[in-house]
Chain A
Amino acid sequence: MAQQAVTGASPGPAQLGEPLLKVRGINKHFGPVQALTNVDLDLYAGQVTALCGDNGAGKSVLTKCIAGIYQIDGGQFFWESKPVAIHSPRDSSALGIETVYQDLALADNLDIVQNMFLGREQIRNGLLNEDDMERSAGKTLSSLRVTTVRSIRQPVASLSGGQRQSVAVAKAVMWNSKLVMLDEPTAALGVVQTNQVLQLVRRLRERGLAVMVISHNLNDVFEVADRIAVLHLGRMAGQDRADAFDRQSVVDYMTTGASTRSRRADGDGEKRGQS
């Protein structure tokens, strides 16, 4: 019910055009656990969408379904309005989707450069082109102000938690992608690096990319998000422009799946956001 009400307040196609990625009616279960139920989500190019939800709400599962890590049980993806099937990580990266996973997914025994280029190694004369890979990795890392690592040739096992996260973010933004999904990209980061990541998120938006950020930090959410989507127990409780929400309504959606405040504001999201 709440979902309908809020979707009604969404900006129409006239304002934003078609979403880059439309997720419709996604279901996903693990044995008896229904992780996602009939989830709809729109991700627009040039917009930052924050995905919120309590622990276990299904944010990471939704991300992994879009990334092709998990096979969906039902539902449909539309990429640039065309129905697409995403069966594997290869499918999603072929579409132009990059993901920073909550668990980072780095190989400890490989060094930073090797991790950043994993699956997309540059080749010269049939052999790995380490020199070029090292140069590009270095550039990306310094653009993220990741300056605390001693050498980009050190194994990821020797990095701190925050450094590992920086590497994972750098790995995802190095490619010419169209959609970047970041699952709690700043959870382990220091103040400076967190600001860098938020800055980066804005830069990606300016470049016209669609960005989806998962964060428990509502400060960060309200700082960068153009749109907010809230999951509650595997259902999409509400999604709208960020200015249609305030802190309390997001918290209400996260905890109860509905918000009286937001519903009151449904017809007049714009105004309430300004107050």
Chain B
Amino acid sequence: MEKNVARAEAPESEDPTAAAEAAVEVPPEIVAQTLGQWFQAWMARIRAGDSGVLPVILGLVIITFVFEGISPHQVFLSATNLVNLFQQSAVFMVLAMGVIFALLLGQIDLSIGFVGATGAAIAVQLVQPATTKWPWWAAIAAALLVCALIGAIQGTLIARLRLSSLIVTLAGGLIFNGVMLIVLGLGPFSGYPSLAGSNANLQVLYNLMWGTINPTVSWVGMVVLVAAAGLIMWSADNRRRRSGLVAPPVSLTLLKIGLIAVCAVVVVAICNVNRAAIGTLEGVPWVIPIVLAVFTVWMVLLQKTRFGRYVYAIGGNPEAARRAGVRLANIITLCFTISAFTAGIGALLYASNLGGMSNNFPGNSLVLQAIASAVIGGTSLFGGRGKVLHGILGGLVIGGIYNGMYLLSIPVQWQFIVVGVVLILAVSIDALSRRSATSGSVARV
């Protein structure tokens, strides 16, 4: 008892170095007043081990240089190949943007491949003019609804029965592999319903990946989108600066908007090159606005809504979230619903790319590729850290690696090995940055 009182009465003074040490962990944009300061703070943060999206950008640059250097006839950076690359990556990107909702919770969703495939199989079957003849929109809606429902059931098992997400979604992947095969076996298509044909509904599904937007419309649409995004960013930052809140310097806001504009112009310019050997194939493929739409909606949901805030809170400290009155079960269920719903979109893109659905849908490797994309992009497997943007960046890396190796005619066994190694690398970066983040700061009670 004596000891106890003595301990408590010992004067404790605040460690003056604590704040200074902590400074390196502060996101640069919130303390910098000028672009120069921002850049300095950013460098300090990278030296401290928190590199943000830097590794993945670096990875993209390396992939570009290596494959452009060694691909036959420098075909890697040709317009045809770049558009191709984006189309292949789109499936990884969309699946990753969905599975990030599970990863942010510190959970995992291994079922996205075959849950999505079940949805895609349903959509492709429903639009068949020889059998059910559904309009394309009804077929897509039905497919995504089924996916969302499956996700909700899995999420309920995980959130309310507290089953391990690993086991539930592993089992789910197996179950829906079976369900997908059953759905594909229906009708007279012997497991391979196709999207080929002149029927309008078949065409819409086929065009998700292969359709293009008229070049002029592409330019106009791009300008409108960039202007809208720029205006929103500018006015939000400006309002915060005027009212004296934490805000990035003007030059940084302009730099960001400029960067978006440059990327958009480059993408549209590449897409508007005629990519056909004979005839014309030009304009932005539909898949780009589809990916952008998924990105925008999920980004707003995660960054700007209560739901998104709670997702991060649960990933960071579920007990804190519970004590704050967050209904954990609802949020977790919704995350798995979103993951499965988004997987439906990804699998539809895959089916469109394939021109139909197939018994051989590679559900399991798609799961790994999607999770690899998210992690390579910078999302943590430990929960609480990650962004929708990571899915896009990581998807480009994975897509780029596959595409480059394909151009080099590297055999498939080596493709497996390379992508596996890249995944291990990304997970190591995640674990290392997590360790340096926790060792630097105070002990937790």
Interface of A toward B, CB cutoff 8 Å? 54-55, 67, 69, 88-90, 93, 99, 101-110, 114-115, 118-121, 123, 126-128, 131, 134-135, 148-155, 157-164, 187-193, 215-219, 251, 254-255
Contact = CB atoms under 8 A, between A and B. Distances in A.
A151 B240 CA distance: 14
A127 B246 contact: no
Contacts of B441: 157-159
B8 A254 contact: no
A151 B317 contact: no
B366 to A, nearest CB: 28
A89 B323 contact: yes
Interface of B: 1, 4-5, 7-9, 11-15, 18-19, 22-23, 25-27, 30-31, 239-240, 243, 245-246, 300, 304-306, 309, 312-313, 315-317, 319-326, 384-385, 437-438, 441-445
A107 B316 contact: yes
Contacts of A93: 325
Contacts of B13: 190-191
A259 to B, nearest CB: 13
Enumerate the 9 nearest inter-chain pairs by beta-carbon distance, A residue then B residue, closest first: A119-B324, A190-B14, A160-B18, A107-B316, A158-B25, A109-B316, A216-B8, A109-B384, A105-B320
Q: Name which of B22, B324, B438 has the most chain A CB atoms within 10 A of its CB.
A: B324
A107 B384 contact: yes
Contact of A110 (B9, B245, B312): B312
A216 B7 CA distance: 9
22 contacts: A106-B320, A109-B312, A109-B316, A109-B384, A118-B320, A121-B306, A128-B304, A128-B309, A131-B239, A131-B243, A135-B243, A150-B19, A153-B27, A153-B246, A154-B27, A161-B442, A161-B443, A162-B14, A193-B14, A215-B8, A217-B8, A218-B9
Given A104-B445, A157-B25, A192-B14, 4 more contacts: A127-B300, A128-B305, A151-B30, A215-B8
A160 B320 contact: no
A154 B26 contact: yes
B14 A107 contact: no
B12 A190 contact: yes
A107 B317 contact: yes
B26 A69 contact: no
A90 B1 contact: no
A30 to B, nearest CB: 16
Contacts of A105: 317, 319-320, 323-324
A90 B325 contact: yes
Given A67-B323, A107-B384, A157-B437, A163 B306 contact: no
A159 B443 CA distance: 11
Contacts of B385: 109
